Amino acid sequence: MHTPQTLIPSDKLRAILGTVASNLGFEIRLLPLARVKYTAEPEGAATVDIPEFGLQAEIIGPAEQMPQVSRLIRELAVEMGQQENESLSLTREIVDRYEQLAILFEMSERLGRAEDPGARAGAVLETALESVGASGGCLLLSGPGRLLYFLKTETEEERSQLLALAEKAGHLGRASVEERSHIAMPLTVSNRGTIGGLALGPKERGSYRSGDLKLLATLAAYAALFFDSDRLYQDLEALFFGTVRSMVEAIDAKDPRTRGHSERVRKHSLMIAQELGIEGRAAKRLELAALLHDVGKIGLPDSILNNRGDLSPQQWELVRQHPQMGLAIMSPVANIDDILPAIGEHHERYDGQGYPSGKAGEDINLFARIISVADAFDAMTMERTYRPTFTKEQALREVRENSGSQFDPGMAGIFCQKLTAKS
């Protein structure tokens, strides 16, 4: 039987429903959803199907309250299932968009390492071939400084065919697919028109589809910008982070009181990193981790994020899942393995009393230890549903007092010193 894809781990689902049942004087067991229904309820128990998670709940307790408790468990499961569907749909959209951006970012990094026009053409072609699994390709830059570059093409006939397709795309200014075995894209710059063409041979497996066409169109557009401007690396990087920021702002906006939180965490994290001598690519990766540290909150119901009162134990249990939800969302994405620990560990504590894994000291990822301080400080100084708003001075005092327990003392010391100096 197919088990639905979920963001909430089954053990955590058991804990949440178990807490609800226990508070009402009941016991609950979660079992795989039965293929054959009971002809009669087990003695002293009732069963509730939870198809949203591929499970069946067996509830044991006082018979007179059984209908109400069964209904409560079912309603809670339905609500969580609805949130799951919304979260998974948004997750797929984010992953698709991020994978496209990751390919562009990978190309921009290759271009940044390339020292001559041929190497730059090779970087573009290599990225294009890898992104769609093509067997070979050709890149043509027309006009002054004409450049022609082939990659993984073995015969003159193959090269001639690819060159003809690249020239045709450049001349017509539009994409073409030849019998689903060859594909060509124009290299177009908005203020100058078409400056060349990109053509790829057959895919190593299967044929070209609409998704390949869309991906290559995006890649060709930014490749054209690079060849038209030495600033493309910076432009692509700015676009990449701008898109991530837009995505993160949409998440922050689920609770208007947290608007701008991830951007402030990014700035404060960089402030610490500068004192530690973290720079260049490592600093950029820290920025990305800081921006995405709360991405798992897309899996939290709006009823929790916008709750004006105290959170219940069950709601707190859900909130504590957002680092793991973040990992579930971002793990399928290429080229971010190095920042996943920061997303998953930013609520660990230096004394080992944090979550989700109880890591301690320098076993906690360095970026996570940096983000932890920045995140906590910003959380304390903005309106929250479960604590009073702190002034800057009160929040700094809290950071100092929790240095060595909640926070890495080195990171906390740098943060307080730098922020005090700015006052």
Same domain, 242 and 223: no
Same domain, 382 and 287: yes
CATH number, residue 286 = 1.10.3210.10
User: So what's the pLDDT on residue 234?
Assistant: 54
Same domain, 66 and 188: no
- Boundary (domain end) residue, out of 196, 230, 264: 230
User: So what's the pLDDT on residue 36?
Assistant: 47
Contact 279, 307 (CB under 8 A): no
Residue type for position 77: A
Domain membership of residue 306 (yes or no) is: yes
Confidence of residue 230 (pLDDT cuts 50, 70, 90): very low
Contact 98, 90 (CB under 8 A): no
Q: Which of 2-11, 27-36, 90-99, 304-313 has the lowest mean pLDDT?
A: 2-11
- Nearest of 307, 373, 315, 377 to residue 342 by alpha carbon: 373
Domain membership of residue 281 (yes or no) is: yes
Instruction: Tally Cβ neighbours within 10 Å of residue 139.
Output: 29
Confidence of residue 231 (pLDDT cuts 50, 70, 90): very low
Domain membership of residue 72 (yes or no) is: yes
Q: Which of 98-107, 120-129, 151-160, 264-273 has the lowest mean pLDDT?
A: 98-107
Same domain, 200 and 249: no
Domain membership of residue 100 (yes or no) is: no
Residue type for position 328: A
Domain membership of residue 263 (yes or no) is: yes
User: So what's the pLDDT on residue 377?
Assistant: 96
Task: Express as a percent the part of the chain with pLDDT over 70.
Answer: 83
Domain membership of residue 4 (yes or no) is: no
Same domain, 268 and 341: yes
pLDDT at 232 over 60: no
Same domain, 33 and 142: no
Query: Across residues 285-291, what is the average pLDDT?
Result: 93
* pTM for this model (two decimals): 0.51
Residues spanned by the domain of 286: 234-422
pLDDT at 40 over 80: no
Same domain, 48 and 184: no
Domain membership of residue 109 (yes or no) is: no
- Boundary (domain end) residue, out of 230, 263, 280: 230
- Nearest of 104, 128, 131 to residue 197 by alpha carbon: 128
Please tell me whether the peptide bond between 186 and the residue prior to it is cis, using omega within 30 degrees of 0: no
Same domain, 243 and 300: yes
Query: Across residues 51-71, what is the average pLDDT?
Result: 85
User: So what's the pLDDT on residue 54?
Assistant: 80
Same domain, 54 and 88: yes
Strand partners, 193: 189
Same domain, 327 and 396: yes
pLDDT at 1 over 50: no
Query: Across residues 36-44, what is the average pLDDT?
Result: 59
State how far the alpha carbon of 237 is from the alpha carbons of 94, 105, 174, 179, 226, in Å: 18, 7, 26, 35, 12
- Boundary (domain end) residue, out of 190, 214, 230: 230
Same domain, 292 and 405: yes
| Overall domain count for the chain | 3
DSSP result, 225-258: HHHH-TTHHHHHHHHHHHHHHHHHHHHHTTSGGG
Same domain, 303 and 338: yes
User: Strand, coil or helix: what is 294?
Assistant: coil
Domain membership of residue 277 (yes or no) is: yes
SS3 content of the chain, % helix, strand, coil (to 5): 60, 10, 30
CATH number, residue 221 = 3.30.450.40
**Cα Rg of the chain, angstroms:** 27
Q: Which of 46-55, 131-140, 198-207, 276-285 has the lowest mean pLDDT?
A: 46-55
| Max CA pair span of the chain | 87
pLDDT at 316 over 90: no
